[in-house]
Amino acid sequence: MVKRKFSYLALLVSSLLTMNAWSVGTITFTSDRAGNLDIYTVDTNGENLINLTNHAADDYSPTWSPDGRFVAYVSERDGNPEIYVMELNTKEQRRLTDHKATDLDPAWSPDGRTIAFASNQARDHAADTDIYTMDVNGKKVQRLTNKGGHNSTPAWSPDGEWIAFQSTLDGIGGIHVMTADGEKQRALTQVSATSPTWSPNGKQICFSSEKLVGVATPTLFTIDTDGKNIQKLTDGTLASEEPSWAPDGQSIVYVSVVDGSQTLYVIKVAGGEPRQLTDHLGADFSPEWAPTAFSVAPGSNMRLLQWGVLKGLERGKP
């Protein structure tokens, strides 16, 4: 009986470790598969595709709230790009920005209180944008960059103290970082690069560039936050852009172009072959991984089942 009990325990532990390593998460992304741009979610095994916005106007660039209850995104339903928020349970949608400027690239802060975004509201040229923040009700708008150039794609550090973004202020168009109040701005890369995303431990940033180590197409790299230790993640065979780091730190979802179509892939940070996530003859892009509760921890029912099985084994039951 004792040997049988430990055999069950070993089998259960092995199963739980396997399930945790390959647990199913959720990713939001933009797609034109319904004829215009909409926000979708899909499980990380490629199943359970859901159209969240389903609107005649273009909706794109989704970002999750830290608790997983809301998604902020850009919509053109009012005639120009504005930031909206959707409550996922009720599908209620509300507009946060309301002016004639172009508002893009929303990014939710880790504490859930603030959204960073790019806007040309203080610029004379439509293509020039600055990084702003606002609270989740669209109030308390603050301009963080004000020295010119094109500043876009803000990304919060996990502790909420820093924001990485792309900037052409130095004439390069590389990744910059600054404190969340817009201070201490500095260049992180010395070459053109796009789409920064922070590792969950805050020690690295992943980005896309075609200007490093002789690559000919946009390729994913990681860099330490002190600007050192640049590592190539994808092989440069196909364009790799718009990375988003998984909450468990083990994987990155990104966009690649295959046969003229933009497609989502997932790759392990430790290396290996990428895995294709979507398969659509069109455009799937701007992916973002759902918060930890959606993609790492087993569901409550599964945890109860695990607990019940373990308690049964403790009592000597088969």
Within a domain: residue 305? yes
127 vs 55, higher pLDDT: 55
Range of the domain at 7: 1-22+297-318
Range 86-103 average pLDDT: 95
Range 184-208 average pLDDT: 97
Within a domain: residue 308? yes
In whole angstroms, what is the distance from residue 70 CA to residue 154 CA? Answer: 18
Range with lowest mean pLDDT among 76-80, 90-94, 245-249, 255-259: 255-259
Predicted confidence band at 139 (pLDDT cuts at 50, 70, 90)?
very high
Within a domain: residue 303? yes
Range 231-245 average pLDDT: 95
Range 135-161 average pLDDT: 96
Q: What angle do CA 17, 29, 240 make, to 5 degrees?
A: 80
Within a domain: residue 311? yes
Predicted confidence band at 303 (pLDDT cuts at 50, 70, 90)?
very low
Predicted confidence band at 294 (pLDDT cuts at 50, 70, 90)?
very low
Predicted confidence band at 292 (pLDDT cuts at 50, 70, 90)?
confident
Range 223-240 average pLDDT: 95
- Identify the pLDDT of residue 203: 98
Range 122-147 average pLDDT: 93
Within a domain: residue 315? yes
Within a domain: residue 36? no
108-134, pLDDT tens digit by residue? 999 999 999 999 998 887 779 999 999
Q: Does the pLDDT value for residue 298 go beyond 90?
A: no
Spatial contact of 88 and 69, defined as CB atoms under 8 Å apart: yes
Among residues 195, 83, 175, the alpha carbon closest in space to that of 132 is found at 83
User: Would the pTM of this model clear 0.95, i.e. be above it?
Assistant: no
Q: Calculate the average pLDDT of the chain.
A: 86
Within a domain: residue 1? yes
309-318, pLDDT tens digit by residue? 323 323 333 2
- Identify the pLDDT of residue 23: 58
Within a domain: residue 9? yes
- Number of structural domains, the chain? 1
- Identify the pLDDT of residue 64: 98
In whole angstroms, what is the distance from residue 268 CA to residue 169 CA? Answer: 33
Range 138-154 average pLDDT: 95
Burial class (CB in 10 A: 0-12, 13-18, 19+), 113: middle
Return the percentage of the chain with pLDDT > 90, whole number.
77
